[in-house]
Amino acid sequence: MRAANIFHLGNKELRSLLRDPVMLFLILYAFTYAVYIASAAMPETLHKAPIAIVDEDRSPLSTRIIDAFYPPYFLSPALISRSEMDARMDAGLDTFAVNIPPGFQRDVLAGRSPTIQLNVDATRMSQAFVGSGYIQTIIGTEISSFLQGYRANPPPPVELALRARFNPQLNKSWFGAVMKVIDNVTMLSIILTGAALIREREHGTVEHLLVMPVTPFEIMAGKVWAMALVVLAATAGSLVFVVQGLLAVPIQGSILLFLAGSALHLFATTSLGIFLGTLARSMPQFGLLVMLILIPLQILSGSVTPRESMPDAVQFAMMAAPNTHFVILAQAILYRGAGLAVVWPQFVTLVLIGASLFGLSLARFRKTLAAMA
């Protein structure tokens, strides 16, 4: 009867979830519109950056440099005077201000090294960092092309052949969409299982379970498989209809293999959700616990920044977190088309972490039920 009890208890959780419009809206939002926002909100390398140019040379070379800045990377340059440069940047009108000095073309043709001043509004961090390199490259390219009409330039001794694999367009929206799905798998699995336990406690239905011929293991297993199934189905739908369909993000590997890894990850995170649900006494307390646990898990797992850039102590500590291994296998499968021969260590690690969290949560759940009996 144990398997039948687990099945019926899981069905009870699914029916309870269907009667909760707030949770249903959260699931729908997290795997549809939130994924789209994460993709669309990821800025391009440089997009419509405002730039102003002070042309004190007014030569063919300076005109050529001005004409080199155009959308979509930059807005059409605003031609201003030198006295306006600082005032416009103080007012936030320009991210970049370029000052071409008088006699610039003459000094370039004479072989001297004239200086172009570039002012950058570094409060716009992403644009300031990337845009400075763009501007330097554009100006250098235009000067080299201009000089070819006057004297021959020797070819460079080394030519860099750049090949971007897996994302040849360097499209950041591909990264944002997939990573949002991965993060939402963890978030929803913890929230749904913990909220289901607290909801039963608040509604007084836990006492009904205590008088039924079911064990704490069966109660917990029923919650785990039901909530994991919901999140797994939402993940598959989001990947197929939102990521691949609406956003046209190419998935390189097997979605079924990714869902298998997701199921192992959900085994761990749903157990963690129940553990947090036993610690919290109300839904507000549970929300605070989720914030304390979920944010470090997501930020330090490698889904936001590469793990290699983190301190060694943080990398070592996060090896005990299921998110770390889930992000590794998800990126390998969805981005690089890896097979089971590559990601099997992450699968085994997730089984071990999930079993440990399930055992810990079960012990805490039994203690909580014993205190209520």
Q: Which of 147-156, 198-207, 235-244 has the lowest mean pLDDT?
A: 147-156
Is the Cβ–Cβ distance between 322 and 350 less than 8 Å?
Answer: yes
Instruction: Enumerate the β-bridge partners of residue 54.
Output: 99
The reported pLDDT for the residue numbered 351 is 95
The reported pLDDT for the residue numbered 88 is 92
**pLDDT tens digit string along 259-278?**
999 999 999 999 999 999 88
Q: pLDDT over 90 for what percent of the chain?
A: 48
Has residue 3 got a pLDDT over 80?
Answer: yes
Q: What is the mean pLDDT of residues 14-23?
A: 90
More confident: 347 or 208: 347
Q: pLDDT band at 43, cuts 50/70/90? A: low
Structure tokens that stand for 54 in this block: 């002070």
User: Quick one: DSSP state of residue 93?
Assistant: -
Q: Positive or negative, the Cα torsion across 311, 317, 323, 325?
A: positive
Residues for the chain: how many in total? 373
Q: pLDDT band at 157, cuts 50/70/90? A: low
Which runs of consecutive H residues, i.e. helices, occur in 56-169?
A: 60-67, 82-90, 104-109, 125-147
Euclidean distance between CA atoms 47 and 43, whole angstroms: 7
The reported pLDDT for the residue numbered 230 is 95
Has residue 133 got a pLDDT over 70?
Answer: yes
Write down the pTM of the prediction.
Answer: 0.78
Euclidean distance between CA atoms 325 and 319, whole angstroms: 7
Q: What is the mean pLDDT of residues 162-169?
A: 77
The reported pLDDT for the residue numbered 160 is 66
State whether residue 15 is helix, strand or coil: helix
Q: What is the mean pLDDT of residues 238-252?
A: 90
Domains in the chain, ordered, with CATH?
2-42+171-372 (no CATH), 51-147 (3.40.1710.10)
Q: Which of 27-31, 65-69, 197-201, 235-239 has the lowest mean pLDDT?
A: 197-201
Has residue 154 got a pLDDT over 70?
Answer: no
How far, in whole angstroms, is CA 15 from its chain's centroid? Answer: 32
Has residue 252 got a pLDDT over 70?
Answer: yes
**pLDDT tens digit string along 293-317?**
988 888 888 887 788 888 889 989 9
- Total Cβ atoms within 10 A of residue 143: 18
Q: Which of 54-68, 202-216, 254-268, 294-308 has the lowest mean pLDDT?
A: 202-216
The reported pLDDT for the residue numbered 358 is 93
**pLDDT tens digit string along 335-357?**
888 999 999 999 999 999 999 99
**pLDDT tens digit string along 85-131?**
989 988 889 999 999 999 999 998 888 889 999 999 988 777 788 88
Q: What is the mean pLDDT of residues 213-230?
A: 90
- Total Cβ atoms within 10 A of residue 163: 5
Q: What are phi and psi of 161, to 5 degrees?
A: -100, 105
Give the CA angle between residues 47, 49, 54 to the nearest 5°: 150
Has residue 151 got a pLDDT over 70?
Answer: no
The reported pLDDT for the residue numbered 185 is 94
